[in-house]
Amino acid sequence: MALLSKKVCVTGGNGYLGSWLVMKLLNHGYSVNTTIRSDKDMSFLKNIPGASERLNIFKADLNQPDSFQPAIQGCNGVFLVAHPMEPDASQSQETITENSINSTLAILQACIDSKMVKRVVYTSSVASVMFGNKNSSSNVVDESSWSDIDLICASMPSMATYMITKTLTEKAALEFAGKHGLELVTVLPSSIHGSFIGPEGPKFVYFLMTMFFGKADAYNYMSFTELVHVDDVASAHIFLLEHPEAEGRYICSAVETTPEKLSEFLSSRYPEYQISTLDSSGESGRAKSYKLSSKKLLDLGFSYKHGLEEIYDGALESFKRVGVL
């Protein structure tokens, strides 16, 4: 995309992916408007090189979609990253999904109304493909797949609200954009893992590191054995904003492992830690019946820079930095 100016908006800039994306965009010379939901200590964002000149922080809440307008004004690109990772347990799945769709479409309308936004990149999740149709011979799942809501409920009841909401919000956003001629690209990351720049370890990364904390049930958290470094996810977002031919959905998943292989890898790479092994921790999560393909992203010219080593080395370093390991 030929950007008139390199000014973009990132929603959820204090979050795990959002903060990494803000850092990378500043590093690439962009001016960034980012949104946060509430007053918190944002010194970790303000201290990123380039932030004092090119980062503006706005307050906005998905429950009040109009609140995003000031942050979108004057931007050529918008990254819709903000989303509650833990849905409000007091609300029904239907209400949560409806609210997510309504707020996303209202923000997309604000992008259209701004008359400046050339492309929107929406962060979805592989949850929107992995319970859908597979290539029958290879079990490969690609972007042609849409998760089946009943199958999500049956397979992952504890995460069903989040997964259904991500699936239906992405679908509604693509339909809305198609109808209104808005350029919208969606990114579908698998489990985002690795380093973090915030003052606390992201909860989901903590789950994926549970074996370092001596928990007996460590590998129960490894329901997801497809991983991608946060730096690769942020790079993919920027790549898809800039690439003139980017369109539609893109799975973003770099590493596929199994609880067994991961247990062996961690024990041999980090012998100084008392890492729980799979044998001592019982069940290792669901049986896997599909293989994610990010061929579409790779065919467009993207390449992953980080493997399993960098993912766990990075996460470990970050947890040490915040004094947790």
- Residue labelled with tokens 């959905």: 249
Nearer CB in complex with ligand NAP: 85/151: 85
Of 171 and 264, nearer to ligand NAP (C-beta) is 171
Cα distance between residue 3 and residue 75, in whole Å: 10
Looking at the Cβ atoms of 15 and 259, the one nearer to ligand NAP is 15
Rounded Cα–Cα distance for residues 28 and 20 (Å) = 12
Rounded Cα gap, residues 21 and 133, in angstroms? 31
CB atoms within 10 A of CB 255: 21
User: Which residues of the shown chain bind ligand NAP in the complex (CB under 6 A)?
Assistant: 12, 14-18, 37-38, 61-63, 81-85, 123, 125, 166, 189, 191-192, 202, 204
Q: Which of 85, 84, 82 is nearest to 12 (CA)?
A: 82
Shortest Cβ contact with ligand NAP: which residue?
15
Q: CB of residue 312 vs ligand NAP: minimum separation in angstroms?
A: 15
Distance CA 101, CA 95 (A): 10
CB of 38 to ligand NAP, least distance (A): 5
Burial class (CB in 10 A: 0-12, 13-18, 19+), 64: exposed
CB of 281 to ligand NAP, least distance (A): 21
Closest CB 271 distance from ligand NAP, rounded Å:
27
Min dist CB 12 to ligand NAP, Å, is 3
Kindly tell me which of 5 and 88 has the beta carbon lying closer to ligand NAP: 88
Helix or strand run (H / E) with residue 34:
strand 31-36
Q: Give whichever of 191 and 276 is closer to ligand NAP, judged by the CB atom.
A: 191
